[in-house]
Structure 1
Amino acid sequence: MRIAVLDDYQGVALDAADWSVLDADIEVFRQHLGDADAVVAALAGFDVVVAMRERTPFPRGVLSRLPGLRLLVTTGMRNASIDLAAATELGIVVCGTRSGAAPTVELAWALIMGLVRDVASDDAVVRAGGWQTTVPGDLEGSTLGVVGLGRLGQRVATIGRAFGMDVIAWSPHLTEERAAAAGATAVTKAELFERADVVTIHMVLGEATRGLIGADDLRRMRRTAVLVNTSRAPIIDQSALLQAVAERWIAGLGLDVYETEPLPADHWIRHPDAAGGTRVLRSPHMGYVTRASYRTFYGDAVEDVAAFAAGTPVRQLTG
């Protein structure tokens, strides 16, 4: 059996689990493979592919050109970049792994606190030999707006209440009862963007949520407010986001997700001049990346491969 482990950016996959239990030839790809043709060329002859989240897409056009592929393992139990229907038709078994909410919630709060307390600016000032130059904001007494009050959003809301924040929430089907159970107040979408000092997004990307947050929403935000996205980039209209930052509709922007990943070198979000005075914190899609998460991901991946080889697949995502 030949196994390809993809997008191991930090070079930790083989140390994060005991791969020796598998009777297999394992090749680790640390660099992103690139476009569809590059993926097909690199993976020809592999029986099993272990994909890290959505770093490498597997649409029908790729899967159909990998006739030797028998098992595709994705970390996590949801991967929008894998065509599960095509995999089923082609006889490719797709399995997932366990994952936790805590790492993404923690990063969301790291970005929120970094923006509100302006940590990056203070760090730059001290390194340059200066001292106090800014007056940061407050969490206590401010309003946290949670877009999407699911598993992650509820945990974010709990932490917001611990900081003494007033928590409001919106999603298309959120009821007052569910919001109250999470310690939040259900409001309209417009009201959330108008009232919140901090807006944080915790929605799943799908056809219904693509471009869910547009220019009208961003224009409603206070000029002193900050926006954080640790979910998926296309949930926010990217043209509107660029305009909001360039024209300083908001005070701060924290991003962990981007339309193209890895982020191209010439992307506007990399360049401070594009921010127009808006504070921007950039994280390279690290919401799920922790030592414990990787141990779970790769440990479960080994179990998935072993179970498949034994004829009893586990955590199967295809029929």
Structure 2
Amino acid sequence: MKIAVLDDYQNVARDLAEWHRLPTGSALTVFDRPIPADELAALLEPYSVLVIMRERTPFPASLIERLPNLRLLVTTGMRNLSIDLEACKARGIAVCGTGMVGTPAAELTWGLILALTKRIPAEERALREGRWQLGLTQGLAGKRLGLVGLGKLGTQVARVGQAFGMEVAAWSPNLTDERAAGAGVVRLDKRDLFATSDIVSVHLVLSDRTRGVIGAEELDAMKPTAFFVNTSRAGLVDEAALLAALHEHRIAGAGIDVFPAEPLPADSPWRSAPNTVLTPHLGYVTRENYEVFYRDALEDILAWHAGNPVRVLA
């Protein structure tokens, strides 16, 4: 059995699971770099089992059809919209997922909020360059935190905002007054949320319904002193509209962890975007998460090989 682990950027997969438990004769290969799309089929053709990291490498039908030896596809997490599950079913390829830790994205959200409001990156750079106190930072108490999405992650972010003494408001397509009140949050319509919040943070699942849900109209409604944070998915936001708002200084800044193309291309306009704190999709990249990912991935492989697959997605 030939097994490949894809997109192990940190080169940690071998150390985070007991791969020696694989069936006798198994061969494990770990790819620690992104593989160009035009090289994928030829490179992955020999493997019968693939372990992929979240949505880093898409698996559309066009790729799946070119992998005749593939029998098991394991994705970290239990949702991966970049896999064509119907194509896998048609080919008889089993697809399994893994567990994950539920807090890292909310923690990173607050890292970005604090980096923006406390000017941490700019002041740290200035200090190293011999300068001292370039500007004023902002407090959080009494400010409004606006959440686009109040699911599990949004609720975690809300609790921290409340601990800082913030007023928390939320909007999502399905949010009710009762659900918001249960989290100690005020439900607003979308425009009011953007117009009145001092920080807007996005916590929606990307779907056909939510793609582009934040566009020029919402961003134009924001205060010039407000910050925008996205640790969910780039496709939720009109990228051109957000970049324009930043370059034209119509909002105070943005903390962004997710991008339309990842890893970020050398010519990405985000590299020159002003008043931003950018992170390379770190929302799930914690040791605790990776330990669960690779432990469960190994368990998936062993269970499938024994004829009793677990955490089956297709």
Same fold (TM over 0.5): yes
2:158 match: secondary structure: helix
Correspondence for 1:185: 186
1:85 and 1:155 map into 2 onto residues whose CA distance is 34
2:185 and 2:46 map into 1 onto residues whose CA distance is 52
2:113 and 2:254 map into 1 onto residues whose CA distance is 9
Matched, 1:290 2:292: no
Aligned CA RMSD, in angstroms, stands at: 0.7
1:94 and 1:263 map into 2 onto residues whose CA distance is 28
Correspondence for 2:195: 194
Correspondence for 1:25: 27
Of the three residues 307, 312, 315, the one matched with 2:308 is: 312
1:94 match: secondary structure: strand
Identity of aligned residues (%): 52
Pairing of 1:129-278 with structure 2 (within 5 A): 129-271=130-272, 274-275=273-274
1:14 match: secondary structure: helix
Please say which of residues 241-250 and 222-231 is displaced more in the overlay.
Answer: 241-250
Structure 1 residue ranges, 4+ long, deviating more than 3 angstroms after superposition: none
1:249 and 1:131 map into 2 onto residues whose CA distance is 27
Deviation at 1:150, TM superposition (A): 0.5
Code of the residue aligned with 2:209 in structure 1: it is A
1:249-300, Cα deviation, whole Å (9 max, x unpaired): 11010010000001101101112xx42xxx2001000100011111000000
Which segments of 5 or more consecutive residues in structure 1 lack a partner in the other structure?
Answer: none
Scaled by the length of structure 2, the TM-score of the pair is 0.98
1:43-80, Cα deviation, whole Å (9 max, x unpaired): 01100000000000000000111111000000000001
8 Å CA contact 2:101–2:292 kept in 1: the answer is no
1:1-57, Cα deviation, whole Å (9 max, x unpaired): 10010001010000011111002100000110111x311111011000000000000
Scaled by the length of structure 1, the TM-score of the pair is 0.97
Pairing of 1:47-126 with structure 2 (within 5 A): 47-126=48-127
8 Å CA contact 2:3–2:48 kept in 1: the answer is yes
Deviation at 1:241, TM superposition (A): 1.1
Which segments of 5 or more consecutive residues in structure 2 lack a partner in the other structure?
Answer: none
1:304 match: secondary structure: helix
1:128-160, Cα deviation, whole Å (9 max, x unpaired): 101112101111110000000001001111111
1:9 and 1:195 map into 2 onto residues whose CA distance is 40
Correspondence for 1:15: 15
Deviation at 1:81, TM superposition (A): 0.4
2:18 and 2:188 map into 1 onto residues whose CA distance is 48
2:84 and 2:184 map into 1 onto residues whose CA distance is 37
Code of the residue aligned with 2:11 in structure 1: it is G
2:225 match: secondary structure: coil
Number of residue-to-residue matches in the alignment:
312
1:169 match: secondary structure: strand
2:231 and 2:193 map into 1 onto residues whose CA distance is 18
Deviation at 1:125, TM superposition (A): 1.1
2:4 match: secondary structure: strand
